[in-house]
Amino acid sequence: MTYVLPPPRFCNSASLWWTGCWVGVCLLLLAPAAMASGDSSYPVRSITAEADHVLITLSETVSFAQTTLPGDAERNLKDRCYVDLTPAVLDRQAQRYVAVDSAAILQVRAAQFRADTVRVVLDLASARSCQAARLSDPPRLRISIGPPVEETPRADATTEPEKAVVRVEEEGAASPVAPPTTESQVPPPDASAQADVQTRPPEETETEQPTTRASVTIHPPAERPSRVIALEEAYQLAVVNEEQVAIAARELAKAKLLPWRAVALMAPRGEIGGAYSRNKDEIAFNAPPEAQNLFGGSSVIRPRNNWLSTFQVTQPLIEPSFFPSWRLGKDAVREEEERYEFTIRGVLFGVAQAYYEVLRFEAQVKVAQDTLKLAQEELKRAHIRFRVGEVTKTDILRAEVAVERASRALVVDRNRLKLARTVLARTVGLSETVGVLEPTPPQAVESDYTSLLDQAYAQRQDLRAQSLAVRVARERKNLVLTRYFPQVDAQFSYPRLDPETFANRDEFWTLFVNLRWPLFDGGNRELDLLEANETLSQTELRVTELEKEIRVEVREALLSVETLHATLETLHKEVALARENYEMTSKQYRVGLSTSLDVNTSLNTLNQVRTQLIDQTYTYQIALLNLDNAIGVFAQDYLPQR
């Protein structure tokens, strides 16, 4: 059904009138996006560093707070100063790490410390004064580095000489060897007794024990991490560097385009077409001169050569799919926002697991070192008693086996620690090996299962995202239903042709109102509708399935916390009893009231329960974090603010 409307009488030029209309529509569509672009926090544009100062470029003047922190050699922390900028956000284009070719500044780090606070940290080569000052036009903040500050040597910074490790074997003399380097560089107990044995001349040793010989067990020094990070810094690095978070952000950006697709359905569409035709002959009719004005001045019906160009604009007036598309786009954006936050939470929980894994292996390395020291002391005592004839050579061999077993356990734990540090560095997006600091232990949740489950149903982002997926599937079904309704649009056509003919005139514009109502399309709509119904049913079933999985996860996490809390109390008692048993057995062995087998057994028992206590301690802390993750409250401070 087609209607031809005349041009409006108040317009001298049809093209000028329609151009004004299109400009008005575009301004109306772009105005909400421009109004929504405001933000209460000001971006930090860039960070540059020179030899003696750091320059922070801001978009507006913000307040700042400056702090200087001393270095800590035991925790492998350098002297540093930092500045907190408020209210501010770190621009996506700004560098997070700035390398500096300077003797004063090692590197500059920047991160979004809180939702409205940017922290810029300067790692210094030595203790120096820092002074921050504002600059204007454009707004900037300059952090100047002063000369080195002289500081008195600290007593805890001195190192004691390394002690030698002696492993006694049969048929020979004792000789000093290099010790295993511990994580904290603390000398082993009874160092003076060991030094006395190791500094003895070989001739004196051979005179006292002609039937024994000592061989060397050399342990490589422990690998020091090149950088130490706190758990909060690890979270911030992972949010910035982790690929899964970046992929989820891209998915969210794609989803935000869907509402604009709905707007595009109602936007005008214009096109320009052109054609050239050549006919065999020209067709015209003969008309007397006095009648030519009656026929428009041309008697040509079909010219031999014809040029035609057309400018057409189509404006939808009634589009049934607009409202379902708009609602679908909005629900899809909310769904992807929930999935983005769920991805961040999953990544940060993986960071916490990797972080506590490093802590666990660091503690196990210390236990292995302590066990090795105790085994070496028992070997020394067995050797002394063997020299005076109180025990047989079996005691020495048994003690040597204990030393070798402890050495092997130390190597295994150190390699596991190296791997754990590598995994943590990969998780937070760093290429260098990193060390960790003991964080504040998480607090236990004092709630019953029912309240925790209700909290999980309300807080879990994956459940909210799946519920929104049901709404998206329902709107997709509505999109199929809109194909049963009519569409109405207006079309404006403006032609240019050469030459004009009897029926076609140059610049003779037309306006059409078109109505299209599909009656049947071979059953495609019905098939698509059936498929949309099945998809909707699947999505609803996934919500039910996820709710059941959440019930199991919350129950499992709660039971794990309760079990580990109870076993930790038992393990603390076991460690105290095992330590007391070992000390008593060792003293009894010195006076001949127990055997070397008793000492070896008590030492193994002490090592096992101490290792179990370390495992259970950090597993319990991870279990507390896992419970927070199961109910949807883990790492709330690191999720984007909406």
Check residue 155 and give its pLDDT. Answer: 37
What the chain holds in terms of domains, given with CATH numbers, is 42-151 (2.60.40.3500)
Condensed to tens digits (0 to 9), the pLDDT of residues 12-49 reads 444 444 445 444 544 444 444 433 344 466 788 888 88
Judge if the upstream peptide bond of residue 441 is cis by omega within 30 degrees of 0: no
CA dihedral of residues 174, 178, 179, 180 (deg, nearest 10) = -130
The amino acid present at 201, given as its one-letter code, is P
In tens, the pLDDT along 533-551 reads: 999 999 999 999 999 999 9
The one-letter amino acid code at 633 reads: V
Residue type, 338: E
Q: What is the pLDDT of residues 271-282, one digit of tens each?
A: 999 999 999 888
Q: Extract the residue ranges of the chain whose pLDDT is less than 50.
A: 1-19, 21-23, 25-39, 151-218
**Global pTM?**
0.62
3-state SS class at 143: strand
Predicted confidence at residue 164, as pLDDT, reads 33
Closest by CA position to 299, among listed 113, 145, 499, 468: 499
d(CA 107, CA 95): 12
Q: Which helix (H) or strand (E) holds 272?
A: strand 269-278
For residue 467, the model assigns a pLDDT of 95
Other beta carbons less than 10 A from residue 593's beta carbon: 11
* DSSP, res 72: B
What is the rounded distance in angstroms from the CA atom of residue 103 to the CA atom of residue 147? Answer: 11
Block residue for tokens 């500050």:
149
Single-letter residue type at 403 = V
